[in-house]
Amino acid sequence: MNDHVHILVAYYSRRGSTQRMAEEVAVGARSVAGAEVVLKRIEEVQAQDLLDADGIAIGSPVYFGTMAAAVKAFFEDWQFRFDFYPSRPLRDKVGAVFVTGGQSAGGRELAMIGMLAAMLHQWMLVLSGESPIGASAATEIKPIAVDQTELAEAHALGRRLADVAKAMRQGRKIMAMQ
Amino acid sequence: MNDHVHILVAYYSRRGSTQRMAEEVAVGARSVAGAEVVLKRIEEVQAQDLLDADGIAIGSPVYFGTMAAAVKAFFEDWQFRFDFYPSRPLRDKVGAVFVTGGQSAGGRELAMIGMLAAMLHQWMLVLSGESPIGASAATEIKPIAVDQTELAEAHALGRRLADVAKAMRQGRKIMAMQ
Amino acid sequence: MNDHVHILVAYYSRRGSTQRMAEEVAVGARSVAGAEVVLKRIEEVQAQDLLDADGIAIGSPVYFGTMAAAVKAFFEDWQFRFDFYPSRPLRDKVGAVFVTGGQSAGGRELAMIGMLAAMLHQWMLVLSGESPIGASAATEIKPIAVDQTELAEAHALGRRLADVAKAMRQGRKIMAMQ
Amino acid sequence: MNDHVHILVAYYSRRGSTQRMAEEVAVGARSVAGAEVVLKRIEEVQAQDLLDADGIAIGSPVYFGTMAAAVKAFFEDWQFRFDFYPSRPLRDKVGAVFVTGGQSAGGRELAMIGMLAAMLHQWMLVLSGESPIGASAATEIKPIAVDQTELAEAHALGRRLADVAKAMRQGRKIMAMQ
């Protein structure tokens, strides 16, 4: 049985921190056998990129306690440009989120919860990794914007996303044959 | 291939509204071929009930904007009594939540988000149904505590939980054989 | 002592529901003696409108579980165009939020929480009314987009905002004299 | 004019971290002229302690992404034991929250949001400090459970709470005289 699994890692980044996390999520996803991983800025993501994926990770900076407006606009494109609602073609795809933000408890969770809600609204399944909500980096309270612990969290999130998406893909195949 | 899937629907209820929703989540889950559904009050749930399940739905009333303290204490039992952390034996099980609460925007979402966070912390996968976060009933703003639309939402959530948990279970079997 | 209080009601609206709520928030605010109320679309709000206000109410539609991207972009303007951070000139002003959204538990709370977080980040004080988080209308589950109960909630929120902002304004004057 | 202001700092703590934060919130509050500060474990807080306060800060550990069940039970006591709803005698009092939790983005925000929602439900005003939602300490990711930066955040939160509660108290007096 073909055990490929397709993972899309999409991110928005102004100064590079979220991009650095995205790269590591992609590396983590690629560590799963059979994973084919596409890494793109959200500005370049087309409907087909989302439709082709079994697992989707989305990353955003945190501005003032929530995801960047640019990322929210991307989620709104899922309906307003891609016409995903109410048909919900992303149903049962697996989703995960990651963010970077300045302060310690400065909105990283709230940003991630909002992103997960957009995925759940499409009837995606969502998961997290070491932290309850997703992976994140607190970019302003330490010398290096994204440190090794945070990169490890991003790596683990990507790996887990690919692993679960693969299981889900194979399970759906089996059920379709029954 | 054995296509059974085990679903646990656990709830806390003082006046019966959350119980009514729980019953309908269970009916929805049972509508999936091969589903074996256990319906229990959280006070009666043992560690083994959780470990035996492929999918877990948990229901709570909303008090003052968040899940009932009794339900939060149940989630804390996952560590303090059942010792699920950090081993995380619920990993990859599928979770869903439902709540009942008085007012229109009176904490139902916030309660459900908190419940999903507890599941994500255990590395469960979570999903929703018609509403982005879970199924719910607004019990004080209309003549009947739980109306037909809300019961239909509960039913759909239970059905979706069993369907996804079944796919996940079969996918994991395939991957274990490879 | 001059007992004027300045209230800004700013909103984003595509189809009129959020505008309808905004109008009623403004009516509620005007019912407080001495209140001078400005009602504006967020596209027209300048930094000075915010700086002149003692109380600020902001309204948004809910799209996919969070505030509209246009409203999030408005909050980001507080820093990127208006340069409010880190000087925080809105400190101690009183804030409140309102939203309109399609479904029952479809993101109204999560949208409002994100909006309150942006206000708290500026060291504003925030309050709510009948519902814990703010005032809202569920626009898709009933024949009339915004019904009388929801308008009453908007009215009460506007009135409470003006009343509290007035008390805060007078308290600060007294403290400045001591 | 009597410029006293009464502040209650109430906390729940098992291992001392939240207590350490609470002590510093109290020190911050006491730094405001005229502030009389009461520091109590939530187990010892009576209805009168809450009714006597102009400003209330509440602290909790974070367990599995939300406030401790013991703290949620305390908020439920506001209705079930103290009978504060629907009369809402805490109306217009000023509230703030603080938490301690193990991980970086491990539920501190979500716990604080739930606590603020309980306060907003009582028609309290809420505020924050350096972080958008409240003050917090990430107790497991560094050698010292609560470090100097986190204590400074707690101190600033307490000071801001007392300052705003004092302004609010004086403003209400003026309005009552008019």
Contact call for residues A79 and A85 (beta carbons, < 8 A)? yes
Instruction: Give mean pLDDT, residues A17-26.
Output: 97
For residue D136, list its beta bridge partners. Answer: D99
Instruction: Give the other-Cβ count within 10 Å of C5's Cβ.
Output: 26
> Is C152 in a helix, a strand, or coil?
helix
Contact call for residues B35 and B162 (beta carbons, < 8 A)? yes
Contact call for residues B61 and D117 (beta carbons, < 8 A)? no
Set of chain B residues whose Cβ sits within 8 Å of the Cβ of C150: 104
The pLDDT value given to residue B2: 62
Count of helix runs (H) and strand runs (E) in chain B: 5, 7
Partner-chain residue, chosen from B127, B169, B178, that has the shortest CB–CB distance to A125: B127
Q: Is the Cβ of D168 closer than 8 Å to some Cβ of chain A?
A: no
> Is C156 in a helix, a strand, or coil?
helix
CA distances from B150 to A55, B16, B37, B137, B147 (A): 30, 14, 20, 6, 5
Given CA atoms D105, D109, D115, D118 in this order, what sign does their dihedral have?
A: negative
Instruction: Give the other-Cβ count within 10 Å of B118's Cβ.
Output: 27
The pLDDT value given to residue C106: 79
Q: Return d(Cα B163, Cα B158) in angstroms, integer.
A: 9
Q: Return d(Cα B131, Cα D74) in angstroms, integer.
A: 30
> Is A105 in a helix, a strand, or coil?
coil
Instruction: Give mean pLDDT, residues C5-24.
Output: 96
Q: Which of A39, A50, A51 is nearest to A12 (CA)?
A: A39
Q: Which of C57, C66, C79, C80 is nearest to C7 (CA)?
A: C57
Give the chain B residue nearest D63 (alpha carbons). B76
**In this model, does residue A52 exceed pLDDT 80?**
yes
Q: Is the Cβ of A106 closer than 8 Å to some Cβ of chain D?
A: yes
Taking an 8 Å cut-off on Cβ atoms, the answer to whether B64 and C132 are in contact is: yes
What does the block give as tokens for B150? Answer: 């809300």
Convert the pLDDT of each residue in A25-49 to its tens digit. 999 999 999 999 999 999 999 999 9
Q: Is the Cβ of C24 closer than 8 Å to some Cβ of chain B?
A: no
Convert the pLDDT of each residue in B51-84 to its tens digit. 999 999 999 999 999 999 999 999 999 999 999 9
User: 66-105 in B: which are within 8 Å (CB) of C?
Assistant: 103-105
Give the chain C residue nearest B108 (alpha carbons). C105
Closest Cα in chain B, distance from residue D104 (Å): 13
The pLDDT value given to residue C164: 97
Considering only residues C57 and A85, tell me which one the structure prediction assigns the higher pLDDT. C57
Average pLDDT, chain B: 92
Instruction: Give mean pLDDT, residues C5-13.
Output: 98
**In this model, does residue C141 exceed pLDDT 70?**
no
Q: Is the Cβ of B59 closer than 8 Å to some Cβ of chain C?
A: no
Q: Which of D117, D105, D115 is nearest to D11 (CA)?
A: D115
Give the chain B residue nearest D72 (alpha carbons). B69
Pairing of strands A55-63, A66-67: antiparallel
Q: Return d(Cα B142, Cα A94) in angstroms, integer.
A: 36
- Residue A79 has phi, psi (to 5 degrees) of -95, -50
State the burial class of residue C152 (Cβ atoms within 10 Å of its Cβ: 0-12, 13-18, 19+): middle
Q: Return d(Cα A115, Cα C155) in angstroms, integer.
A: 31
Taking an 8 Å cut-off on Cβ atoms, the answer to whether D114 and B76 are in contact is: no
Convert the pLDDT of each residue in C94-109 to its tens digit. 999 999 986 656 789 9
**In this model, does residue A21 exceed pLDDT 90?**
yes
Report how many Cβ contacts below 8 Å link chain A to chain B.
Answer: 88
Closest Cα in chain A, distance from residue B78 (Å): 15
Partner-chain residue, chosen from C1, C3, C178, that has the shortest CB–CB distance to D3: C178
Contact call for residues D30 and D159 (beta carbons, < 8 A)? no
Pairing of strands D5-11, A94-101: unpaired
Q: Return d(Cα C121, Cα C85) in angstroms, integer.
A: 9
Considering only residues A145 and C76, tell me which one the structure prediction assigns the higher pLDDT. C76
Set of chain D residues whose Cβ sits within 8 Å of the Cβ of B121: 64-65, 106-107
- Residue A139 has phi, psi (to 5 degrees) of -85, -10
Convert the pLDDT of each residue in C148-158 to its tens digit. 999 999 999 99
The pLDDT value given to residue D86: 85
Among B99, B109, B136, B139, the residue to mutate for chain C (most C Cβ within 10 A): B109
Q: Is the Cβ of B120 closer than 8 Å to some Cβ of chain D?
A: yes
Considering only residues B132 and D153, tell me which one the structure prediction assigns the higher pLDDT. D153
**In this model, does residue C1 exceed pLDDT 70?**
no
Convert the pLDDT of each residue in A105-120 to its tens digit. 678 999 999 999 999 9
Quote the strand ranges of chain C, DSSP E: 5-11, 35-41, 55-63, 66-67, 94-101, 125-126, 135-138
Pairing of strands A135-138, A125-126: unpaired
Pairing of strands C135-138, D35-41: unpaired
Q: Return d(Cα A108, Cα C154) in angstroms, integer.
A: 30
Pairing of strands D66-67, D55-63: antiparallel
For tokens 């006491």, the residue is D30
Considering only residues B1 and A11, tell me which one the structure prediction assigns the higher pLDDT. A11
The pLDDT value given to residue B141: 61
Taking an 8 Å cut-off on Cβ atoms, the answer to whether D104 and A136 are in contact is: yes
State the burial class of residue A48 (Cβ atoms within 10 Å of its Cβ: 0-12, 13-18, 19+): exposed
Taking an 8 Å cut-off on Cβ atoms, the answer to whether B133 and C103 are in contact is: no
Percent of chain B with pLDDT over 90: 79
- The 8-class DSSP code of residue A43 comes to G
Q: Which of D85, B49, B63, C68 is nearest to A114 (CA)?
A: C68
The pLDDT value given to residue D143: 64
Set of chain B residues whose Cβ sits within 8 Å of the Cβ of A170: 170-171, 174-175
The pLDDT value given to residue B103: 63
- Residue D12 has phi, psi (to 5 degrees) of -120, 135
Helical segments of A63-107, H only = 69-80
The pLDDT value given to residue C129: 83
Instruction: Give the other-Cβ count within 10 Å of A49's Cβ.
Output: 15
Pairing of strands A55-63, A94-101: parallel
Q: Between vectors from CA C116 to CA C111 and to CA C119, what angle results, nearest 5°?
A: 135
Q: Is the Cβ of B134 closer than 8 Å to some Cβ of chain C?
A: yes
Contact call for residues B104 and C151 (beta carbons, < 8 A)? no
Convert the pLDDT of each residue in A68-117 to its tens digit. 999 999 999 999 999 998 899 999 999 999 999 866 567 899 999 999 99
Closest Cα in chain B, distance from residue C52 (Å): 31
Set of chain A residues whose Cβ sits within 8 Å of the Cβ of C73: 69, 73
**In this model, does residue B3 exceed pLDDT 80?**
no
Closest Cα in chain A, distance from residue C89 (Å): 15
Set of chain B residues whose Cβ sits within 8 Å of the Cβ of D63: 72, 75-76, 79
DSSP assignment of B83-141 equals --TTT-TTTT-EEEEEEEESSTTSSHHHHHHHHHHHHHHTT-EE---SSSS-EEEE-SS
Among A66, A103, A104, the residue to mutate for chain D (most D Cβ within 10 A): A104
CA distances from B144 to A163, B99, B141 (A): 44, 16, 9
Tell me which amino acid residue B71 is.
Answer: V
Instruction: Give mean pLDDT, residues B116-134.
Output: 91
Q: Is the Cβ of C144 closer than 8 Å to some Cβ of chain A?
A: no
**In this model, does residue B19 exceed pLDDT 90?**
yes
Closest Cα in chain B, distance from residue C67 (Å): 14
**Could you say which residues of chain D have pLDDT below 50?**
none
For residue C39, list its beta bridge partners. Answer: C9
Q: Return d(Cα D171, Cα D43) in angstroms, integer.
A: 32
The pLDDT value given to residue A111: 95
Given CA atoms A61, A66, A67, A69 in this order, what sign does their dihedral have?
A: negative
Q: Is the Cβ of D12 closer than 8 Å to some Cβ of chain B?
A: no
Give the chain D residue nearest B79 (alpha carbons). D64
DSSP assignment of chain D equals ----EEEEEEE--SSSHHHHHHHHHHHHHHTSTTEEEEEEEGGG--HHHHHH-SEEEEEEEEETTEE-HHHHHHHHHHHHTT--TTT-TTTT-EEEEEEEESSTTSSHHHHHHHHHHHHHHTT-EE---SSSS-EEEE-SSSSSSS-HHHHHHHHHHHHHHHHHHHHHHHHHHHHHH-
Pairing of strands C55-63, C5-11: parallel
The pLDDT value given to residue D105: 62
The pLDDT value given to residue C133: 86
Partner-chain residue, chosen from C106, C113, C118, that has the shortest CB–CB distance to A64: C118
- For chain B, the straight-line distance linking the first and the last C-alpha, in angstroms and rounded, comes to 16
**In this model, does residue B97 exceed pLDDT 70?**
yes
**In this model, does residue B142 exceed pLDDT 80?**
no
**In this model, does residue B158 exceed pLDDT 70?**
yes
Set of chain C residues whose Cβ sits within 8 Å of the Cβ of A78: 64
Q: Return d(Cα A100, Cα A146) in angstroms, integer.
A: 8
ipTM of the complex, rounded to two decimals: 0.94
Q: Which of B64, B58, B63 is nearest to B14 (CA)?
A: B63
Determine if residue D123 is left, alpha or beta; phi over 0 gives left, psi from -120 to 50 gives alpha, anything else beta: left
Report how many Cβ contacts below 8 Å link chain A to chain D.
Answer: 63
Set of chain A residues whose Cβ sits within 8 Å of the Cβ of B93: none
Q: Is the Cβ of D175 closer than 8 Å to some Cβ of chain C?
A: yes
Q: Return d(Cα C118, Cα C138) in angstroms, integer.
A: 23
Partner-chain residue, chosen from B72, B110, B117, that has the shortest CB–CB distance to D69: B72
pTM for this model (two decimals): 0.96
Set of chain D residues whose Cβ sits within 8 Å of the Cβ of B76: 63-64, 68-69
